[in-house]
Amino acid sequence: DEWASLAASEGVAEPNVLKVYDPSTSLEYFSRRPVTLLKRAWRSGVLLGALSFNLWLDNKLRRRPEDGEVDNAEKKRNETDAKRAAQLVDILIKLGPTYVKLGQVLSSRQDLLPPPYIERLRTLQDSVPPFDDAIARRIVNDQLGPSNVEGLRISDSPLASASLGQVYKGELDGKQVAVKVQRPGALVAVSLDVCIIRAFGPTIYKISDKDGNLDSQALIDEWGRRFIDELDYGLEARNGEAFAAAMRARTDELGQVVTAPAVVPNACTRRVLTTEWVDGCRLDESDADDVPRLCAVALSAYLCMLLDTNLLHVDPHPGNLLRTTDGRLCILDWGLVTDVTPQQSDAILQFIAHLVSQDYGKVDRDLVTMGFVAPEKMAALNDEGLTNAIATLFSA
């Protein structure tokens, strides 16, 4: 497909300048490759431009009327949003894994998109086909080298395929392992796509939400930074190890019940991640009697990350929460995380204290300190009446 061809065009080498997200560096890199940039930009621009035009037309023709403007305004808005959401998902699939990943991220942002978009975007979880197994094996061989590959055997086909890579079940030195292999050329292809999204995204947002206060460019930069970090499987390995070590060091029950897959260090690189194989079932698909307890354990684990370990797993969709055969909770996929500073941890506690004590006047400052709202957006936050809404909600 187009994304695979784009990814393969740069070969197997990863440009060092793209390994850390920097929008100006990415633009400079691809400006020296004008044919690649213009071809992909044209393809993206045509598809996203068609969506932008339809969104503009919807506003112009009042296909998304405000309440009170016409009868059944909410129904008309939902019908229009459902139609555009279907168009958006079709475009994301055509543009490939980068855009599918963006759609998956947006599917959890009910604060940004109307419900019909959220519902449609959630169908993207299974929309990325696997890449060729022969290519995956070649990547494993090139990345790990002869000495480490010699004792490694992987399954004929992947057990799971995602937007950035696919997972094989394998055996290494007599032990069962999971081997995640990154899509070929992903760094170059993702960097180019993020560069283009950064150019088009803010315009599309302004058209679709003309009164919105969102700093869309800052949001895209944050997403791009996380996306590029997620391509470093060595970083993912360190994140998982750090969490597992923090759980082992605890003397309470949480440390005995929650874990992450153990990493096999000599079989990990930037593009190949090997961990122990964990037998179990997705938490949301398990019919075990202790699932309600493990859901509470999962909540406790995430509170622990926020207030204690200072490393927060920010991709907690059901596929990453596993009930092991011995009744523990195993958290998978540590590529997407965020650091929580001590100041933010303190702010979270203060936020909770202000809610409990009904001191709602300090909530807006808490949101800024926690990093949820930029300081320059404080006025917009107050204009939107969020603090009053929180006060109404918690005092009900």
pLDDT digits (tens, 9 = 90+) for 280-309: 999 988 999 999 999 999 999 999 998 899
Question: DSSP strand E in 277-359: where?
Answer: 280-282, 311-313, 321-324, 329-331, 337-339
Tokens 């995602």 sit at which residue? Answer: 162
Q: Other CB atoms closer than 10 Å to residue 185's CB: what's the count?
A: 20
Q: What is the pLDDT of residue 387?
A: 67
Give the SS3 label for residue 280.
strand
Whether the predicted pLDDT of 152 surpasses 80: yes
DSSP character string of 190-205: HHHHHHHHHHHHHHHH
Q: What is the pLDDT of residue 141?
A: 93
**Token pair listed for 392:** 């109404």
Q: Which of 297, 317, 290 is nearest to 125 (CA)?
A: 317
Q: What is the pLDDT of residue 72?
A: 84
Helices 73-95 + 34-60 axis angle, to 10: 170
Mean pLDDT for 257-271 is 95
**Token pair listed for 24:** 């100006």
Q: What is the pLDDT of residue 198?
A: 86
Q: What is the dihedral angle through the alpha carbons of 5, 6, 8, 13, rounded to the nearest 10 degrees? A: 180
What span, in angstroms and rounded, lies between the C-alpha atoms of 201 and 41? 12
Among residues 58, 315, 333, 366, which one is catalytic? 315
82-131 residue pLDDT tens: 999 999 999 998 888 888 888 887 887 777 789 999 999 988 866 677 88
Mean pLDDT for 21-48 is 91
Whether the predicted pLDDT of 353 surpasses 90: no
Mean pLDDT for 165-181 is 94
Whether the predicted pLDDT of 10 surpasses 70: no
Q: Which pTM value belongs to this model?
A: 0.81
> How many percent of the chain have pLDDT more than 90?
46
Q: What is the pLDDT of residue 182?
A: 93
pLDDT: is 366 or 278 the higher one?
Answer: 278
pLDDT: is 145 or 215 the higher one?
Answer: 145
111 has catalytic annotation: no
What span, in angstroms and rounded, lies between the C-alpha atoms of 210 and 246? 45
